[in-house]
Amino acid sequence: MGTFLYPTLPRSKPSNEDEMWNTLTSFAAEMRNLLEYKDALEEATGAVRIIRVVSVGDIGQPDSGDVAYATSAEKFRGYTSASGWVDLN
C-alpha cells in the first residue's frame, strides 16, 4: 500500500481564533482525505488471497492463515503452525 505521511499541525501558536480555526479545519480535511484514500485502497484489495497449486507441498514456507486450493485433491486447505495443512471442505 505504500508509506503515507499524515498531516501535522504547525508548531507555531496561532495568533488568533480565526487562524486556529482555519488551521484545524485544514488539518481535519487533509486527514479525512488521506483516510478516505486509504479506505478506498483497502476496499480495492481482496481480503484473502487464495494460492492455487497442484499440491500444498508446492508451497515452501507457508504462514499461519495461508489458504490454498489444491487442484490435485480439489480441496481448499488452510495452514496453521499447530496442525499444518488442514482441509477446509
Is 1 a residue whose pLDDT tops 60?
A: no
47-63 residue pLDDT tens: 667 878 888 888 888 88
Q: Which residues contact 62 (CB under 8 A, 6 or more apart)?
A: 56, 68, 79, 85
The H or E element spanning position 79 is strand 75-80
Is residue 7 within 8 A of residue 32, CB to CB? The reply is no
What residue spans of the chain are helical by DSSP H? 17-44
Phi-psi domain of 21 (left: phi exceeds 0; alpha: psi -120 through 50; beta: other): alpha
Q: What is the pLDDT of residues 12-49, one digit of tens each?
A: 988 999 999 999 999 999 999 999 998 888 777 766 67
Task: Write down the domain spans for the chain.
Answer: 15-47, 50-87
What does the pLDDT read at residue 31?
A: 93
Greatest alpha-carbon pair distance for the chain in Å reads: 71
